[in-house]
Amino acid sequence: MSRIDIDREHRLSDEERRQALQELADYLVSIGAVLTRDADRLDFSGQGYEGSVVVSKQTARGTIKLGLLARPFRRQLEKAINEHLEARLTGD
């Protein structure tokens, strides 16, 4: 499996962190992912991918494992994820 690793610092408040994680959960459900959430951690899986994200007080860390069918799109996915994180975690 190919992996996308996420490791970002942020300055979000507790409420903003909860909201960001909820928005991610809502998005993943909308694209058919199955997920579990425990406080600041979100584990998810869908057709061709699985992963986890933890948004703690100062960092957002995660790993997304891509299956065979998703591998050709790794660079595009990684770019889109990083652009979204940059916008969301800086509060813009």
Domain boundaries, the chain: 2-89
pLDDT value at 92 more than 60: no
As a whole-number percent, the residues of the chain with pLDDT over 70 amount to 97
Instruction: Supply the mean pLDDT for the chain.
Output: 87
Instruction: Return the pLDDT at 1.
Output: 64
Q: Is 73 helix (H, G, I), strand (E, B) or coil?
A: helix
CATH superfamily of 2-89: Alpha-D-phosphohexomutase, C-terminal domain (3.30.310.50)
CB 61, CB 54: distance < 8 Å? yes
Q: Where are the beta strands (DSSP E) in 1-92?
A: 2-9, 34-38, 41-46, 49-55, 59-66
42-79 pLDDT, tens digit per residue, is: 999 998 899 999 999 999 999 999 998 888 888 888 88
Task: Give the model's pLDDT for residue 3.
Answer: 93
User: What is the rounded distance in angstroms from the CA atom of residue 47 to the CA atom of residue 89?
Assistant: 27
Q: What is the mean pLDDT of residues 25-50?
A: 91
Q: What pLDDT is stored for residue 84 in this prediction?
A: 78
